Amino acid sequence: MKVNTNSNTYIIIYSVVMVVIVAVLLSLASLGLKERQDANILNEKQTQIVKALGEDPATVAYGDVITKAALLDASGAVVSEDEKEVFAALNDLKASFEAGKYPIFVATSGVVAPLYGAGLWGPIWGYIALDTDMNTVKGIVLDHSGETPGLGAEITTAKHQAQYVGKSIFEGEELVGITLKKGGADKGSLHEVDAISGGTKTCDGVSAMIQSSLNYYKPYFDAARATTDTAAEVEAESNVVNE
Amino acid sequence: MASKSLKNLTAPLSGNNPVIVQILGICSSLAVTVQLKPAIVMGLSVMVVTAFSNLVMSLLRNGVPSRIRIIVQLVVIAALVILVDQVLKAYVYDVSKQLSVYVGLIITNCIVMGRVEAFALQNKPWDSFLDGIGNGLGYAAILVIIALVRELLGSGSLMGFRIIPESMYIAEGGFYSNCGIMLFPPMALIIVGCIIWAHRSFNKDLQEK
């Protein structure tokens, strides 16, 4: 029997069958690979947290350095310490930030806070590790989804990220973050690093991301600074008196 | 392997190269050639997609209604690209992250649909499969050449490893500085032009009178 491949009935049946087969195939592939992909994603997050602390993920495991993972609310109070919940919040950090849930990782020697912002082509994110004074940067990890390779994407290189170590995010009581400065950072500045030539838009995004993301954690940092650093406490009190 | 089948495999490597002779897939050869490693993975991914889309379309070629054949081709190609993307995410996560959106953009690569439309719909599955492999390899070869030039001159490294020593740079008291313009897409187009020029001067039969 010769089938007329150009009849409407044939075309409609052909399309329906084709779409169903493709849909089944893709769903199976997605289901089958999901576990592996999720494991990769979780592993990558933990690796980045360890890296942000300046440790080598090849030798140091996540569990060795992180003592507690927690979710904070807008006032800096801990609302959950369930690790699963914290990592789930990391999966959609933008939504978590908007919902007032701020994941933080407490290490033996400081804290690690996640960052989320916009680059030139798409989202950028990362982790910043602060020393126990909640001010000095121990390290940073930056990542992106679609910045230009060789230009904006250079924010992921070790060379760029090494610049942040030792910088500080507070100027007195004000959270100033770290600025990526076009044309090179001022020598001796504690709040500036060199921007990447040709990647200015991405670098502006990183500066804005550090500032806005850390702002969410300011109440937590302030509380921690008040208890660990008496000098800061005295200064804060004298400011109140002056007013 | 019959010599005719073999020709399907080897012709796209030089004489009928998809990029420099058929002038297909220029867009992605500008986008992913800043560094060598993404260029190689991109070349391999495109090869897998062209080979299997050619194979599938060639198997289906007698049943495809010609009025919706472009839609059918798109569905097959898109499904294959999604599969490649999922597999990369599961098994080589770091590379898939580096390629980011470009894997998805294989769907829009003219070579894939061009070969399906021009070859697979008229030829047997095995020949079509070889044609797909050949065209993928031809594409990958050009990508690698462009990426070699761009990464070496633009960043002074290859595969991320430093080739030009730090001490030669002006910042370290040397005389050398990276050629920043190499990192921009227009330079890739100029390199493609140079490759075509060199290729045609060796292959006189390709020269237009």
Instruction: Name the residue in chain B with its Cα closest to that of A33.
Output: B90
Residue B2 at interface with chain A, using a CB cutoff of 8 Å: no
Is A18 within 8 Å of B67 when comparing Cβ atoms? no
Closest by CA to A218, choosing from A189, A166, A177, A161, is A177
Percent of residues, chain B, with pLDDT higher than 70: 97
How far apart are the C-alpha atoms of A52 and A210, rounded to whole Å?
14
pLDDT band at residue B100 using 50, 70 and 90 as cut-offs: low
Test the B interface: residue of A16, A24, A151 with most B CBs within 10 Å: A151
Q: Residue B42: list chain A partners with CB under 8 A.
A: none
How far apart are the C-alpha atoms of B62 and B124, rounded to whole Å?
11
Distance (Å) from the alpha carbon of A32 to chain B's nearest alpha carbon: 10
Test the B interface: residue of A2, A13, A36 with most B CBs within 10 Å: A36
Q: Which of B32, B35, B66 is facing A6, going by the closest CB pair?
A: B66
According to the model, what pLDDT value does residue A243 have? 44
Test the A interface: residue of B70, B183, B184 with most A CBs within 10 Å: B183
Percent of residues, chain B, with pLDDT higher than 90: 32
State the complex-level ipTM: 0.73
Q: Which of B79, B90, B101 is facing A37, going by the closest CB pair?
A: B90
* pLDDT tens per residue, range A139-171: 999 988 778 777 888 898 888 999 999 999 998
Residue A28 at interface with chain B, using a CB cutoff of 8 Å: no
Inter-residue contact A180 to A207 (CB < 8 Å): yes
Residue B136 lies in a domain: yes
According to the model, what pLDDT value does residue A86 have? 87
Inter-residue contact A102 to A216 (CB < 8 Å): yes
Ordered by start, the domain boundaries in chain A are 50-231
Residue A14 CB partners (closer than 8 Å, separation 6+): A5, B63, B64, B65, B68, B72
* pLDDT tens per residue, range A210-236: 999 999 999 999 888 887 655 544 545
* pLDDT tens per residue, range A173-212: 888 888 898 888 888 888 999 998 888 899 999 999 999 9
Residue B90 at interface with chain A, using a CB cutoff of 8 Å: yes
CA distances to A129, A237, B16, B33, B169 from A224, rounded to whole Å, are 15, 16, 67, 47, 44
Q: How many CB atoms lie within 10 A of CB B94?
A: 10
Range of the domain at B196: 24-206
Q: Which two tokens stand for residue A162?
A: 């090494």
Residue B13 lies in a domain: no
